[in-house]
Amino acid sequence: MFKLALLFFMLFAGETWSAGEKECGSLEYCDEYKSNVHDLYSLQRGLGLYKNYCSSCHTLKYLRWNRLQRDLDIPESILTEDLIGSPEVKTSDFITFGLPEISAIGAPDLTLRTRVRGEEWIYTYLRTFYDDIDQPTGANNLVYPGTAMLNVLSGLQGRQELTPDGRLLKSSDGTMTKEEFDLAIGDLVTFLAYASEPARITRERNGIFVILFFIVFTAVMWLLNREYTKDIK
């Protein structure tokens, strides 16, 4: 009984006091976000944004084009012409967008970044860029102060400034409203979450069947046990 209580305590403690886990770079909390990798259209929109706004600097070098094509249901012509766009690249190649192995400007590979940072970290990071003339890139970030990444999404989001009390204030409009931009970044993070574990789509789907199987199996075994022990009692 004591061991069971200890086990429950440890599980509960891990959930509640996982040291520092809630912290979001230099922010106290990240904005909440939970990806749904079963939403195919969200994944496809995320891929579109990635291709247009991220692929000039960041690779996805642990993911292959043909796996992406299969999982996101991408037609062959769109894959080869719009996404790959080079006859030298095979569909079985890793997704490098022709970038060098090590980025000259220090842009990390993003395949596993949601596993390292967490989805909410990246969701908050991509929405908290603001203008800062003291930075070489002209932009700074609330989550990752002094980041070397340019504010590449300012055309969509609009520009933001930091107020003296540490809040972000919009200084010019982008092509998207705040709600649209948040949804777009959600799609992007969902796509990155998929990239970090493509098997999650099937794993989560199969998991439901496995649990259903166990429930049915337990019920059958319970009935069988009742039948067997009926005469013993």
Question: Using CB under 6 A as the criterion, which residues of the chain lie in contact with ligand HEC when the complex forms?
Answer: 53-54, 56-58, 105-108, 110, 113, 116-117, 122, 125-126, 147-150, 152-153, 188
Q: Return d(Cα 130, Cα 140) in angstroms, integer.
A: 5
The nearest distance, CB 117 to ligand HEC, in angstroms, is 5
Nearer CB in complex with ligand HEC: 101/227: 101
- Give the distance, in angstroms, between the CA of residue 34 and the centroid of all CA atoms in the same chain: 8
Nearer CB in complex with ligand HEC: 31/91: 31
Among candidate residues 158, 161, 154, 157, the one with its CA nearest the CA of residue 133: 161
Nearer CB in complex with ligand HEC: 71/109: 109
The nearest distance, CB 205 to ligand HEC, in angstroms, is 26
Residue nearest to ligand HEC (CB): 54
Nearer CB in complex with ligand HEC: 116/216: 116
Nearer CB in complex with ligand HEC: 105/208: 105
The nearest distance, CB 158 to ligand HEC, in angstroms, is 15
Q: Which amino acid is at 2?
A: F
In sequence order, what are the residues at sequence separation of 6 or more whose Cβ sits closer than 8 angstroms to the Cβ of residue 153?
Answer: 53, 126, 129, 181, 185
The nearest distance, CB 226 to ligand HEC, in angstroms, is 55
* Cα dihedral 203/119/30/7 (nearest 10): 40
The nearest distance, CB 225 to ligand HEC, in angstroms, is 52
Identify whether the C-beta of residue 59 lies closer than 8 Å to the C-beta of residue 97. Answer: yes
Nearer CB in complex with ligand HEC: 78/116: 116
* Cα dihedral 20/21/26/30 (nearest 10): -140
The nearest distance, CB 189 to ligand HEC, in angstroms, is 8
Q: Is the dihedral of CA 154, 123, 32, 131 positive or negative?
A: negative
Structure tokens of 142? Answer: 């609330």
Among candidate residues 133, 162, 139, the one with its CA nearest the CA of residue 151: 139
The nearest distance, CB 30 to ligand HEC, in angstroms, is 12
Identify whether the C-beta of residue 143 lies closer than 8 Å to the C-beta of residue 124. Answer: yes
Nearer CB in complex with ligand HEC: 90/115: 115
